[in-house]
Amino acid sequence: MPAKFDPDRDIPDLSGKVIVVTGGNAGLGAETVRKLAAHNPASIYLCARNPSSAESLITDIKSHHPTANITPIKLDLSSLESTKAAAASILAQTPRLDILYNNAGIALTPPALTSEGYETQFGINHLGHALFTQLLLPTLLKTASSSPKNSVRIISVSSTLHARAFPHGLLLAEAKTDMAPHPAATRYGHSKLANVLFAKALARRYPEITSVALHPGFVDTEMNRGKAGGAKWFSLLIRNIVGWVGVSVEEGAKTQLWCAAAEGVRSGEYYEPIGVVKAGSKWARDEGLRDELWEWTGKELRANGGPGWPKGE
């Protein structure tokens, strides 16, 4: 049964906790920051490609919660150099990290490449977040070593469209091309499948951290309204559908808020609204594919100056 979850009532006091949210300036990320700020965390690092776009959000939150400590951080996940700089900025400001939201993303965009030459949806939705996570992991692990069990969490926002990846799941041999021959929806599903597999790989290798992936539901966000650079056909389709079946951002954010706050969250699971464990596609359950992605990701990050995966338990 879906969990009955009211963020105002059911998120516990977050005193002392440090939270990082990528894509925290709009949509699900902004709602996540808004709801968490109401529960007294020590600090929230709001990461955005253009931090100034979060100024009005932060001002509004502070008008309701004057003691809220929200720091905007410039993070462009299409550039691994920007990703390194963002992580370094956060690590220079805090000795602990309790919750990491890998929330930012793009959807169904035309063929293009990131700064380092990866297909944009895969590069931003997966590889940029993987490097960001790798850089922050030592602090997450340190925090977990002195915190209650299951309290340190990594939450990755995926999509039910992970099931629309390639016929064999991943196509890593082409990830360093724009993948132009493939449909935008397939390329998007590819990146979202990587989100699920990456969360499961983190859960396996770092049992001291609770790592999950989730589908927030079909949410009425700017991206789904066609205002975030999506393919034209998709934008037209979504504008017609979203009014019929889309849920509000407030409703859509509940699953990722539940993943941060609920006691029953199980590491390595894939959740759908609200707090419902789903098996995911057959590729999301493929342990060999999970390990293949982990090895490929580690190799690519090393080639781009990543520090490597820290040792866990």
Return the sign of the alpha-carbon dihedral for residues 78, 79, 82, 84: positive
Q: Where are the beta strands (DSSP E) in 220-293?
A: 270-272, 276-278
Q: In this structure, which amino acid lies at residue 233?
A: W
In degrees rounded to 5, what are phi and psi of residue 93? Answer: -110, -15
- Is 278 tagged catalytic? no
Strands 276-278 and 270-272: antiparallel
**Active-site residue identified among 17, 35, 192, 200:** 192
- Coil, strand or helix at 77: coil
- Is 206 tagged catalytic? no
Which CA distances in Å does 107 have to 128, 206, 252, 263? Answer: 15, 29, 16, 31
In degrees rounded to 5, what are phi and psi of residue 229? Answer: 85, 20
CB proximity list for 37: less than 8 A, separation 6 or greater: 44, 61, 65, 68, 70
Gap between the Cα atoms of 126 and 128, Å rounded: 6
Residue 153's nearest CA partner among 34, 289, 269, 15 is 269
Q: Between the CA atoms of 94, 96, 101 and 106, what dihedral angle is there, to the nearest 10 degrees?
A: 40
Widest CA span in the chain: 51
- Burial-class residue 175 by CB neighbours within 10 Å (0-12, 13-18, 19+): buried
Structure tokens at 176: 């360093």
**Active-site residue identified among 118, 188, 206, 270:** 188
Q: In this structure, which amino acid lies at residue 36?
A: L
**Residues designated catalytic:** 188, 192
